[in-house]
Amino acid sequence: MTMSLLVDQASHLRSLARQSRATARRRATVIAVTSGKGGVGKSNVAVNLAVTLARAGKSVVLLDADLGLANADVLCGVDLPANLSHVIARKKELRDVMVPGPGGFRLVGGASGLARMADLSDADRQRLVDAMAELEAQADVILIDTGAGIGPNVLTFTRAADHVLVVTTPEPTAVTDAYAVVKVIARQDGRDPEAYGTDPDGLGDGYQNAARRVSLVVNQARSPAEAKLVYDRIAGVARQFLGATLHDAGSVPLDDQVPVSVRRRIPFAMAAPRSAAAQAIAQLAARLTTGVATADESGFFRQMGQWLRKK
Ligand SMILES: Nc1ncnc2c1ncn2[C@@H]1O[C@H](COP(=O)(O)OP(=O)(O)OP(=O)(O)O)[C@@H](O)[C@H]1O
Ligand SMILES: [Mg+2]
């Protein structure tokens, strides 16, 4: 598929999303967790962030949008009676497929083996976007685990997000693929001026998506210094070659508690709250809601934090 076709599809979805927002007043902040390379830790970051934000009193929905290899339900140890594919197929309403997750967040399970988003019809897309708009009115934060890569599924969800968290590990292959994701997102933004403006949907509701934030999380870091090197490298290249700002969302250390909790099907933020990984996720959650990460920049997180605290 050509890049322009991807961009067209994304713009189309964006305009569908705007139509939906005209009827459903925007409320939640939408955070997409994505990566270039698979297996870098997206689902673990998304699930444990959901647990941590929910325990801090936020109303959180985690949407497992990895339409090929969904597994957030496995990480959470919950059984899904139905999933997103049933919503798209109009067999279920979103509220019927939402199940309680650990720590109090709500999970919308993904569909394993669902046809790629590229194969969905316009009506299917509208259905999915309407379902997301419905979620926006019911939560403070919507986390989306997008699955890996730069395919149309993933880009559709990063497009709909206010904030994209790109997860990588320090491995050179993961770093290269993370840069590829940052590049595609930067191009999307550059080619779609509709994404810019302080209140693009004209509802005057404090919609902060002047331009989407794109931040890097370095997972499985052996030290903070290693994570910093990875961040500096990708952010430097993004600035130099794309003119794009990549924000530093911090890092999560390589921690044995992660695979242990995966095997137990209990998120490490619950099973091992004192582990280094859980503490790093707590820092990430705090940054997302208090403005520490970008306090010296446009104040997006600060505003978002104030806004979340009002809830
Ligand atoms: N911080 C960490 N420390 C140690 N191991 C980790 C860490 N993060 C992830 N892992 C390991 O990597 C595996 C893959 O993680 P996860 O399923 O979250 O990746 P993913 O990016 O969602 O993968 P996919 O692309 O297949 O969806 C985990 O099962 C765990 O064993
Ligand atoms: Mg995953």
Percent of the chain at pLDDT exceeding 90: 49
pLDDT tens per residue, range 209-255: 446 789 999 999 999 999 999 999 999 999 999 999 999 999 999 99
CATH ID of 3-310, from 1.10.645.10, 3.40.50.300, 1.10.510.10, 1.10.10.10 = 3.40.50.300
Residue type for position 153: N
Give the mean pLDDT of the chain. 80
Rounded CA gap, 289 and 267, in Å?
A: 21
Banded model confidence at residue 299, pLDDT cuts 50, 70, 90: very low
Rounded CA gap, 4 and 10, in Å?
A: 10
User: Of the residues 258, 265, 281, 284, which should be mutated to test ligand 1's pocket, given the most ligand atoms within 8 Å of the CB?
Assistant: 258
Q: How far is the CA of 205 from the centre of ligand 2 (A)?
A: 33
- In the block, tokens 């933020």 appear at 269
SS (H, E, C) 253-307: ECCCHHHHHHHHCCCHHHHCCCCHHHHHHHHHHHHHHHCCCCCCCCCHHHHHHHH
Backbone CA torsion sign across 250, 256, 260, 262: positive
Q: Is 212 in the pocket of ligand 1 (CB under 6 A)?
A: no
pLDDT tens per residue, range 59-104: 999 999 877 677 899 999 999 988 888 888 888 888 889 999 999 9
pLDDT value, residue 127? 75
Q: Is 177 in the pocket of ligand 1 (CB under 6 A)?
A: no
CB 163 within 8 A of CB 29: yes
> Which residues 6+ apart lie within 8 Å of 231 measured at CB?
216, 218, 246, 248, 251
CB 161 within 8 A of CB 30: yes
Q: What share of the chain is helix, strand, coil (3-state, %, to 5)?
A: 50, 15, 35
